Structure 1
């Protein structure tokens, strides 16, 4: 098992709290949403399982409509904790998945994403943060969240880099489809 690279059979993606009312004040939110939709489609091509969380959806709304439409199976996990790991339903789904390599994306980088990453790593999971798929209300908080996660041992990368790690070779089943997807 590679120490720093994803292992496809052990990989799970987590989309954290990209919701209607939460995303409005997020820095570069329109660009982020487009990238998240694109990433969700790419991860589905590669058959990577995906968990979607929503922070208090009664007050903060659902996952945004473009993301809901992009998701093949929209079954959000509702939570009130900032760290996904402190939510018993999320924790149960994670354990049941048997996955140990976690791709993280969503908002806010310095709150829910960061706390989730730190607690995942504390429990022995390997966290791969797609830095192009996270943001916060202000760029400095985003930057500090990413820096703290890096300092704690999180692998900081991009979604495109992760696609190619997951495939490993131009002979991979989905190579052509992903190549077309990223253009």
Structure 2
């Protein structure tokens, strides 16, 4: 059978014999990705589950060869992600997902997440962090709401698939971030486009920080369940203020005063947090 072995953003195809053991697969992985044996000496093997559309731990001693093409990766057993949430402006990007006019009356607390999204966009501009915007079927759902200034976005991409990870977005990320390790993700809907984008990024070995106070759905149940699932898959669920302050790190940062001005007034969000405290 053919197997696709994934390491970070790299992927290579190899041929495996039926009944290949996990140890043999690891050795094949090290052959294809030399120099990584020490980095992943404490590792577990994961296999892509096409039914659940997510990575699952591979517990069997031999490889299930029922499918023609299998997809595997190694992850650090202790940390699950080498980035550990440590954001740096030169290794991250902001993804603004489908904040469009027609969603205004349908999405729970749309005004609140728009206000927080605006703060994120201003912060990204101040810190010179690339922003990529998508718009889901704008012919029907119209364009990004006028309250959000996306004039500095590196790309505004139309799409019909739910995930933001379409070729145009991937190309923009490659062109604008030399060493992409983390993505700050926000928008709608939390349980559809945001969730599918996050899962696609995680599958590529990219850390994802989902901004809870800038993400929503039509129902609070869907929103909360999305956060729970994403956290279980390794995404970091956080807030806009946390991310912006983490990016400056120091009150002596040249942009600290301007970032402080963005976050100084806390937006009204009691409804946005209702029922989420136990999840966050």
> What TM-score, normalized to structure 1?
0.93
Aligned length in residues: 180
Aligned counterpart, 2:106:
25
- CA contact under 8 A between 2:116 and 2:240: conserved in structure 1? no
Aligned counterpart, 1:79:
159
| 1:18-54: CA deviation from partner (whole Å, max 9, x where unpaired) | 1011232100111121221222112212221100000
Aligned counterpart, 1:154:
235
Which secondary structure does the structure 2 equivalent of 1:53 belong to? strand
Q: Give the C-alpha shift of residue 2 in structure 1.
A: 4.5
Distance 1:18 1:37 in 2: 11
Distance 1:42 1:36 in 2: 10
Alpha-carbon RMSD across the aligned residues, in angstroms, is 1.4
Distance 2:83 2:222 in 1: 31
- CA contact under 8 A between 2:211 and 2:239: conserved in structure 1? yes
| 1:61-85: CA deviation from partner (whole Å, max 9, x where unpaired) | 0001111xx2232541111110112
- CA contact under 8 A between 2:125 and 2:152: conserved in structure 1? no
Please say if 1:109 is aligned against 2:190: yes
Distance 1:48 1:22 in 2: 26
After superposing on structure 2, the runs of 4+ consecutive aligned residues of structure 1 that deviate more than 4 Å are none
Aligned counterpart, 1:173:
254
Tell me which of the two structures has the higher relative contact order, counting C-alpha pairs closer than 8 angstroms and 6 or more residues apart.
1
Distance 2:93 2:198 in 1: 13
* Structure number having the greater strand percentage: 2
Which structure has the greater CA radius of gyration?
2
Gaps of 5+ in 1: none
Aligned counterpart, 1:58:
139
Which secondary structure does the structure 1 equivalent of 2:205 belong to? coil
Aligned pairs for 1:120-135 (under 5 A) are 120-135=201-216
Distance 1:64 1:44 in 2: 18
Tell which deviates more after alignment, 154-163 or 28-37: 28-37
Aligned counterpart, 2:69:
none
Match of 2:172 among 78, 88, 93: 93
Distance 1:135 1:168 in 2: 28
* Structure number having the greater helix percentage: 1
Distance 1:121 1:147 in 2: 15
- CA contact under 8 A between 2:83 and 2:181: conserved in structure 1? no
Q: Give the C-alpha shift of residue 95 in structure 1.
A: 2.3
Gaps of 5+ in 2: 1-81, 265-280
